[in-house]
Amino acid sequence: MESESGSSVRLKVFNLNCWAIPYISKHRQVRVQHLGDLLNQKNFDLALLQEVWSERDFESLRQKLLPNYTWAHYFRSGFIGSGLCVFSKHPIQEVFQHTYSLNGYPYKIHHGDWFCGKAAGMLVLEICGILVNVYVTHLHAEYNREHDYYLAHRVAQAWELAQFIHHTSRRADMVLLCGDLNSHPGDIGYRLIKEWIGLEDSYLETQDFQGCEDGSTMVPNNCFVNPREMEHFPRGVRIDYILFKAISGFRITCETLTTTTGNISDDATGRSIPLSDHEALMATLAIRPAPIEQNRDSTRDAETQASLMGVLHEAWTEMGLGLAGARQWVYSTGHLFSLGLLLLFLGVGSMLFEEIPWVAEALFMILGAIVLLGSGGLYLTSLHESKALYEAQAEIELAMEMAKEVQPEAVELSSTSSLLRTSIQSESK
C-alpha cells in the first residue's frame, strides 16, 4: 500500500446502521457481538456505524476489535447521543462533530430524533501519504413517505452536511462519506449532497456488485423490517450510501461493492438473524495517482451546472414550504400564548372579588399556566425552526446567484429541467 511508487492503494470500507437501541431493538447484544466477529474476520480499513445508541455497546465493540482496529471514536451529541462511531486500522489525526440545526420536534416523543442530536462526524486520516477526510452521518428518518412532515428538516440537514464537507475538505486528497441518509437515490436530499460536493456513488460506479437487488439496504425479507413500510417497495429501498471524491492528484474507482442479504449471524437458539434491520455496505476503493489537471476543480459544463441549479432550486422550494409552515406555527402559538396570559390575569383578578369561588380562581390559574407553558414551548420551537430554515434558504439563494454569475447560460437549462421534473412528479402522484 504505497502511493509514492505509483501503485494503487486499496481502502476497504464497511458501513452499517446497526439498529442498536437499548431495551427496544431485538437481539441487540447478540447482533453487536456478531458484528464484531464479522469486522475482525473481514479486516476492513474503516468501519463506520450508525445507531449505536449505547456507549456500553461501543466499548464492547472497541475491546473486541482492538487487535485489528486500534483507533476508534464515538461521537456524543444530544440527550441520547448521535449514535455515530468509527473504527479504524489507521491513526486518526483529527476528529470534529457538527450537530444539525434542525432535527425534528421535541413533542414528537415517539419518534425521538430531536433527543438524539443527529450530527455529522468527521475524522482525518493519513493513509500511505494520502490525506483522507472521512464523514459519517445519519439524517432524520422519513417515517411516512406520503406525508413527510420532516422533509424540510432533512433537506436542511443535507445542505448543512454538504456545506460542512465543502468547507472542511479543502486540504484533503480524498473525501469519503458514509451513512444512512434516509433518502432514496432520486430524493432531493441525496441529490443535493451528491451534486453540490461532486461525490461519486459507489453503487453506481462499482465494477463488481454483489448483494441485494438494486443495491437496496432495507429489504422486505429482513425479519426486523416492518412489512407495512415496504408495501410500495417490494424490492426494497436504498437509503444507505458510501460516497467518495478525489480532490487533487488522485483517481478513485470502486472495485467491489457488496451488501449483506439478510441472515448472517446465529443467536443463542441457533436461529439465523440479520445484523440489523439495514443491510451492511462493504466497498473496496482503489486510489491511484493521477495528473493534477484530471481532478482539479474547474468550471462545470452547462448541462452539469443546469442540473445543480435545478437541485438547488428544488431544495430552496422545499425549505420555503417548511418555512411557511413554521411561520404559521409561530403566529398561532403566539396567539395561544396571549390567551394563556389572559387566563392568568383573569385568575389573579378574580381574587379581588370575594363572590367568585376559589375553584374558579384555581381553574383560571391552572388553565392559564398550562396554555402558557405549552404555547411558549411550541412558540420557541417554531421560532427556532423558522430562523434555521430561513438561514439555509438564504445560503442556497446566494449559491444560486453565484452559480448564475459563473455560467449564465445554465439558468435557462435549469429552468427547463425543473419544469420537466415537476411535471413528472405531478404525473407520478
pLDDT per position as a tens digit, 132-161: 999 999 999 999 898 899 999 999 999 999
Same domain, yes or no: 402 and 277: no
Residue 305 lies in a domain: no
Same domain, yes or no: 155 and 274: yes
How much is the mean pLDDT over the chain? Answer: 88
Residue 418 lies in a domain: no
Residue 417, pLDDT > 60, answer no
Same domain, yes or no: 177 and 248: yes
Residue 275, pLDDT > 60, answer yes
Closest CA to 186 of 135, 141, 145: 145
Last residue in a domain, options 297, 322, 342 = 297
Residues sharing a CB contact under 8 Å with residue 104, sequence separation 6 or more, in sequence order: 111, 113, 114, 140, 150, 153
Residue 3 lies in a domain: no
Q: Look-up: residue for cell 476508534?
A: 72
Instruction: Mark whether 278 is an active-site residue.
Output: yes
Number of domains in the chain: 2
**pLDDT classification of 387: cutoffs 50, 70, 90:** very high
* Predicted pLDDT at 361: 72
Residue 197 lies in a domain: yes
Joined grid coordinates for residue 119? 450530527
Q: Strand, helix or coil at 287?
A: strand
Cα torsion through 266, 269, 273, 276, rounded to 10: -90
Which CATH number covers residue 273? 3.60.10.10
Using an 8 Å Cβ cutoff, are 40 and 15 in contact? no
Same domain, yes or no: 324 and 289: no
Q: Percent of the chain at pLDDT above 90?
A: 66
Last residue in a domain, options 297, 327, 346 = 297
Same domain, yes or no: 292 and 358: no
**pTM for this entry:** 0.88
Same domain, yes or no: 279 and 389: no
Residue 418, pLDDT > 90, answer no
Last residue in a domain, options 244, 263, 297 = 297
Same domain, yes or no: 293 and 314: no
For 185, the domain range is 9-297
Count other Cβ atoms within 10 Å, centred on residue 144: 10
Same domain, yes or no: 130 and 66: yes
- Residues 217, 237: Cα–Cα separation, whole Å: 6
Same domain, yes or no: 22 and 133: yes
- Active-site residue, selected from the candidate residues 73, 140, 278, 313: 278
Same domain, yes or no: 93 and 165: yes
